[in-house]
A and B are shown apart, each in its own frame.
Chain A
């Protein structure tokens, strides 16, 4: 009888773990809900470069989320009849920041800087996927340590050793 309960428990546990993994994967690649339904596709198709809005990755750790002022720079006159743009104008009038939800993130114990990555000639799409085709922005890769090391280890020596050093990223 004990054995029955033991196996039942074990099966439940395995099912639990598998469900957990599955849910995590789904969660990882799902698109977070944003305060304004923003489409990268629309903007890229309009011919706007990534660096126009995310202006600092060549100079800073962060790519930077555009300020409300920057959005309004265009949307004062462009497409200001669209409900999303009107929502944007609302934030501008209330002088409120827009609470965007992060799509790509690194854990708090990781030091990540865009600058050296772009410096070696990587493009935005390498990590962020074909964002120009996304109407809803979602992550395309699970940015975990294995994924980072995939590239870091492909570099020639001695760079690979240096980039595989824990201290290269762990802070």
Chain B
């Protein structure tokens, strides 16, 4: 690489006498290496900022990266980007440690000692690609290949999809834990059912006076947490109509719940009942400023408020008070969150919550609910959609039956992210050849024969239409902010080169010379659009501005106002929640929640995120189980005592954190730790993966994992492991003040 750095190589201590007498060594030999050919935009020692898109979660926030002498030094939010408006979360800030992670793969590798051996042999890319092409072309039938992916950048999805279709293989299966926890698939289905379109809703929190959040951790990891946090700031202290209120309905007080004005500890699975009861009260008692509730009466004709109150353990008085507040607000919005979708009756609950927006006439109104504005051209609209758990199960079944000869895995880590009870770990052993595209050796890559390590996102091209979006059409661009550090190769490029090797229909489907020219062709379709926030005189000029701005977006606000379907003309469904595990034998509901820093575990290899204290427990680097003080007392355990958590599917030993903000019948465990592989920082934390406990049950309406529907029991082990909290327990130093 020609971009050598100015480097202070080594310091030579001058005369021996200086050292002996303790005088500071003054003369030093510092080598400075100038560029051979300086890149156009750089000035020695001066920061150059490049705009790109964050890929630490699927939200698609715009970033600008400070680079000095060709090295990325700091990531900040892109101030021009309409979604995150210059702001960024903890995970986005830590992206440098994906790029500079010491445990990255530096080449394409083959597992030389056989799968699971963790012994690797580097390959030249030409060899690796030949190997892959040979595997693909020697398949008996194109059906015997499968592609399992995470929520990838849009252009990569398009290329993958085109290639697989051309080969006659089924489209990629998109599934990862983050999407499952935020309920992306059920949310899409809710939009489809309620509004007749697959575009995800955008809840206008900024302009709202009352927000009812049903299990949505708005300011942590759900959907677009930065955009939602920006909105919270203006909702609370930035709008003329006064300070907005947030009410959080969930069994455990999350950080979002702590930021809310009121927390309602609903029984798990009964959130929908609360929404139904509130709706019934509003309609029946004609609350609020909306003229007629007659149209909506049908929705609630089967709802009995007392029954709902008893089932949800929220008193009728509270329900009435909340109904009044919601209906009386000038602008109110109800948000069905990820925790709802993780219940066996999730979809029914989500419908009930969305219906609240209808009865206060907040659909398509300021401070209410809108739909994400789709991309302006058809070609740009093709984006990955999350598959159901049934699709994944089906894949596992095929793998077990020996029907899959070649499995390609990109951007997801099923061995960590799927409930162990689904048996992916066993199924992968029945696949003769597995190819992973992971830049890290994660739990799944350990079972791959070949790892075609992808670039990290700061070295990659791409684009993404953020979904959920914001108040206007936005397309975020992704570009390399530094030259690739190692001999890795972007997966899009690998697919293009694979197609070239395969020839025939494959190369016809994706004929581009490289990833960049594909993107350029796709993106310059936007050239000349009258909507754009910037004007370019020529298509190449547009390509330049697209990269400089970090994407393309409309100058003006263009909101998509939803229409409701005929779902609102019949009674809302009412489904009893079901849980796996006998309530006598397994008395507690398990609430596995996504960690603010580590999300679904993908952040666990970044030391900054590991050392970041959890907002609610202030624990760093650890895993714990949260117990209500009453529960802890009944079990005879206290802080830092190790308990054994058992479900019908697995067990886990973990330290106790006595947590005042959780229902006595619920125990919560953060997701993200318990890695067997995935690098030194992820493996530094002892503990096992809470997904081992989960029952593989789904919500029959959405076929999504009901990750909140497992019951567990606890028993003390008599041992202790001290959690690394910020707040001091033993009085050493850092007592809290105030």
A contacts B: CB pair < 8 Å? yes
Report yes or no: A28 in contact with B26, Cβ–Cβ below 8 A. yes
B interface, CB within 8 angstroms of A: 2, 4, 6, 8, 14-15, 17-18, 20-21, 23, 25-38, 43-46
Given A20-B21, A60-B43 in contact, is the A28-B27 Cβ separation under 8 Å? yes
Residue of B nearest to A27 (CB): B27
Q: Give every chain B residue within 8 A of A64 (Cβ-Cβ).
A: 34, 43-45
Residue of A nearest to B33 (CB): A97
Report yes or no: B23 in contact with A21, Cβ–Cβ below 8 A. yes
Q: Give every chain B residue within 8 A of A23 (Cβ-Cβ).
A: 14-15, 17-18
Partner of A98 from the list B18, B30, B33 (CB cut-off 8 Å) is B33
Q: How far is the CA of A69 from the CA of B21 in the complex (A)?
A: 45
Partner of A24 from the list B27, B30, B38 (CB cut-off 8 Å) is B27
Binary B-proximity of A67-101 (CB < 8 A = 1, otherwise 0): 11110000000000000000000011001111111
Q: How far is the CA of A69 from the CA of B3 in the complex (A)?
A: 12
Q: Give every chain B residue within 8 A of A27 (Cβ-Cβ).
A: 14-15, 26-27
Binary B-proximity of A11-30 (CB < 8 A = 1, otherwise 0): 00100110111011001101
Report yes or no: A102 in contact with B17, Cβ–Cβ below 8 A. no
A150 interface contact, C-beta 8 A:
no
A48 interface contact, C-beta 8 A:
no
Partner of B34 from the list A17, A21, A92, A100 (CB cut-off 8 Å) is A100
User: How many Å from the CB of A110 to the closest CB on chain B?
Assistant: 13
Report yes or no: B21 in contact with A101, Cβ–Cβ below 8 A. no
Q: Give every chain B residue within 8 A of A36 (Cβ-Cβ).
A: none
Q: How far is the CA of A142 from the CA of B21 in the complex (A)?
A: 20
Secondary structure at the A interface, as helix, strand, loop or mixed, is: loop
Residue of A nearest to B8 (CB): A108
Q: How far is the CA of A63 from the CA of B29 in the complex (A)?
A: 19
Q: How far is the CA of A61 from the CA of B6 in the complex (A)?
A: 13
A interface, CB within 8 angstroms of B: 13, 16-17, 19-21, 23-24, 27-28, 30, 32, 56, 59-70, 91-92, 95-102, 105, 108, 142
Q: Give every chain A residue within 8 A of B8 (Cβ-Cβ).
A: 108
Report yes or no: B36 in contact with A30, Cβ–Cβ below 8 A. no
Secondary structure at the B interface, as helix, strand, loop or mixed, is: loop
Residue of A nearest to B69 (CB): A62
Q: Give every chain A residue within 8 A of B15 (Cβ-Cβ).
A: 19-20, 23-24, 27
User: How many Å from the CB of A59 to the closest CB on chain B?
Assistant: 6
Report yes or no: A68 in contact with B14, Cβ–Cβ below 8 A. no
Partner of A20 from the list B23, B45, B46 (CB cut-off 8 Å) is B23
**Smallest CB-CB A-B distances: 7 pairs:** A62-B45, A27-B27, A23-B15, A64-B44, A97-B33, A20-B17, A60-B46
Q: Give every chain B residue within 8 A of A101 (Cβ-Cβ).
A: 29-32
Q: How far is the CA of A28 from the CA of B14 in the complex (A)?
A: 10
Partner of B29 from the list A21, A32, A61, A91 (CB cut-off 8 Å) is A32
| 30 sample A-B contacts, Cβ–Cβ < 8 Å, listed by A number | A13-B21, A16-B17, A16-B20, A17-B17, A23-B17, A28-B26, A28-B27, A32-B29, A56-B43, A56-B44, A56-B45, A61-B45, A62-B45, A62-B46, A64-B43, A64-B44, A65-B44, A67-B36, A67-B37, A68-B36, A69-B35, A69-B36, A69-B37, A95-B2, A97-B34, A97-B35, A97-B36, A101-B32, A102-B31, A108-B8
Report yes or no: B36 in contact with A102, Cβ–Cβ below 8 A. no
Q: Give every chain A residue within 8 A of B34 (Cβ-Cβ).
A: 64-68, 97-98, 100
Given A97-B33, A98-B33, A100-B34 in contact, is the A60-B21 Cβ separation under 8 Å? no
Q: Give every chain B residue within 8 A of A102 (Cβ-Cβ).
A: 29-32
Q: How far is the CA of A16 from the CA of B20 in the complex (A)?
A: 8
User: How many Å from the CB of A88 to the closest CB on chain B?
Assistant: 11
Report yes or no: B33 in contact with A17, Cβ–Cβ below 8 A. no
Q: How far is the CA of A123 from the CA of B18 in the complex (A)?
A: 34
Q: Give every chain A residue within 8 A of B43 (Cβ-Cβ).
A: 56, 59-60, 64
Q: Give every chain B residue within 8 A of A17 (Cβ-Cβ).
A: 17, 21, 23
Residue of A nearest to B2 (CB): A95
User: How many Å from the CB of B49 to the closest CB on chain A?
Assistant: 14
Q: Give every chain A residue within 8 A of B36 (Cβ-Cβ).
A: 67-69, 91-92, 95-97
Report yes or no: A100 in contact with B33, Cβ–Cβ below 8 A. yes
Q: How far is the CA of A98 from the CA of B2 in the complex (A)?
A: 12
Residue of B nearest to A115 (CB): B46
Q: Give every chain A residue within 8 A of B23 (Cβ-Cβ).
A: 17, 20-21, 24
Q: How far is the CA of A20 from the CA of B25 in the complex (A)?
A: 9
Q: Give every chain B residue within 8 A of A65 (Cβ-Cβ).
A: 6, 32, 34, 44
Partner of A59 from the list B4, B18, B25, B46 (CB cut-off 8 Å) is B46
Q: Give every chain B residue within 8 A of A99 (Cβ-Cβ).
A: 31-33
Q: How far is the CA of A65 from the CA of B31 in the complex (A)?
A: 11
Q: How far is the CA of A19 from the CA of B15 in the complex (A)?
A: 9
